[in-house]
C-alpha cells in the first residue's frame, strides 16, 4: 500500500454505539445465533460485545491473516490458527470488524464449511466497504469512498506501521502528528503518539517524554 492514503480513527465510544446498532439489527431480523465465531483478530471485541447483547454463551474464534501492521497487505488471506469446534446443527454468527476486499470472508466461509454443517450461518461487520466482493448479512456503515479504518484496539499497531513507512521521518512528536494529518487525514492525541514513539524505542526525538 502507498505511504499516503486516507484513514479514519474510530473511538471506543463510536465502536460501542456501532456494536449496539449491529446487535439491534440482528435481533430485529429474527436471527438467534447459538454460536458466535470471531474472525481474529479484528472480530474479537465486536464478537464479545455482540455475545453480551444477544445472550450467546458459546463464543469461539479462528485467525485469518491478511493484513499485517500498518495496513500492509499479504498476498492472500490464509487461515493461521484454525477453528476448533464442530458447527453441525448450530445457528452461527461470524463476526469481523470490517469487510474490506472480501478475501477474509471468502476464506472464512470455506474454512467453516470444513467443520460441519450449521443450521444457519450469518455474517456481521461494523463497516462494509463498497469495493468488497463479499456482502455481509449485517453491517452498520457502508463505506463508499475507500479509506483505511483504524479501530481502537489497533491504534498503536497501525500508527507504528504508518510512522515506520514515513520517508524523512520527523524528529519531533509534533512533526509526526503533522505528517499523519498530511498523509492520512487523521489527528492523533499527543499522549497516544508519545506512547507509540516510546514503544518504538525512542526512534524519534522526544519519544521518552511521556509523563
pLDDT digits (tens, 9 = 90+) for 136-177: 999 999 999 999 999 999 999 999 999 999 988 898 999 999
Whole-model pTM? 0.87
pLDDT confidence of residue 150 = 97
* Domain membership flag for residue 196: no
Query: Which pLDDT belongs to residue 65?
Result: 87
Q: What is the pLDDT of residue 204?
A: 47
Angle at 119 between CA 114 and CA 125, to 5 degrees: 75
pLDDT at 68: 54
Is position 2 within any domain? no
Stronger pLDDT, 113 or 72, i.e. the higher one: 113
Place 1 in a pLDDT band, splitting at 50, 70 and 90: low
Asked if 154 and 98 touch (Cβ cutoff 8 Å), the reply is no
Q: Is the pLDDT of residue 208 over 60?
A: no
Residue 26 lies in a domain: yes
Q: Tens digit of pLDDT for each residue in 4-61?
A: 899 999 999 999 999 999 999 999 999 999 999 999 999 999 999 999 999 999 999 9
What is the pLDDT of the chain when averaged over all its residues?
Answer: 91
Instruction: Classify residue 184: in a domain, yes or no.
Output: no
**Is 160 a member of any domain?**
no
Percent of the chain with pLDDT over 90: 84
Domains of the chain: total? 1
Backbone angles phi, psi at 75, to 5 degrees: -60, -35
Range of the domain at 126: 10-149
Of 133, 84, 136, whose CA–CA distance to 112 is shortest?
Answer: 84
> Does residue 123 form part of some domain?
yes
Q: What is the dihedral of CA 177, 179, 180, 183, to 10 degrees?
A: 170
Asked if the model's pLDDT at residue 202 lies above 80, the reply is: no
Q: Is residue 113 part of a domain?
A: yes
Of 6-15, 125-134, 198-207, the one with minimum mean pLDDT is 198-207
**DSSP letter for each residue of the chain:** --S---EEEPPHHHHHHHHHHHHHHHHHTT---SEEEEEETTTHHHHHHHHHHHT---EEEEEEEEEEGGGEEEEEEEEEE---S--TT-EEEEE-SEESSSHHHHHHHHHHHTT---SEEEEEEEEEETT-SS--SEEEEEESS--EEE-GGGHHHHHHHHHHT-TT--SSHHHHHHHHHHHH-----HHHHHHHHHHTTS-STTTT---
Answer yes or no: is pLDDT of 73 > 90: no
CA distances from 144 to 38, 90, 127, 128, 130 (A): 25, 34, 10, 9, 5
Q: Which CATH number belongs to the domain containing residue 139 in this structure?
A: 3.40.50.2020
In a domain, 40, yes or no: yes
Amino acid at each position: 500500500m502507498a505511504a499516503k492514503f486516507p484513514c479514519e480513527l474510530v473511538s471506543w465510544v463510536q465502536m460501542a454505539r456501532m456494536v449496539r446498532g449491529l446487535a439491534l439489527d440482528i435481533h430485529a431480523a429474527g436471527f438467534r445465533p447459538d454460536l458466535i465465531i470471531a474472525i481474529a483478530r479484528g472480530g474479537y471485541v465486536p464478537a464479545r460485545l455482540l455475545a453480551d447483547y444477544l445472550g450467546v454463551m458459546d463464543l469461539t474464534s479462528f485467525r485469518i491473516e491478511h493484513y499485517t501492521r500498518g495496513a500492509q497487505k499479504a498476498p492472500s488471506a490464509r487461515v493461521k490458527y484454525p477453528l476448533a469446534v464442530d458447527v453441525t446443527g448450530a445457528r452461527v454468527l461470524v463476526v469481523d470488524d470490517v469487510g474490506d476486499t472480501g478475501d477474509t470472508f471468502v476464506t472464512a466461509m470455506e474454512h467453516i464449511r470444513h467443520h460441519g454443517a450449521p443450521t444457519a450461518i450469518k455474517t456481521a461487520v461494523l463497516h462494509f466497504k463498497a469495493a468488497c466482493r463479499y456482502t455481509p448479512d449485517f453491517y452498520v456503515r457502508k463505506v463508499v469512498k475507500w479509506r483505511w479504518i483504524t479501530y481502537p484496539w489497533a491504534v498503536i499497531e497501525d500508527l507504528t506501521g504508518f510512522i515506520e513507512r514515513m520517508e524523512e521521518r520527523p524528529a519531533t512528536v509534533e512533526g509526526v502528528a503533522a505528517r499523519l494529518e498530511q498523509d492520512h487525514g487523521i489527528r492523533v492525541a499527543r499522549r497516544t503518539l508519545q506512547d507509540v514513539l516510546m514503544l518504538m524505542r525512542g526512534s524519534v526525538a522526544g519519544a521518552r517524554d511521556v509523563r
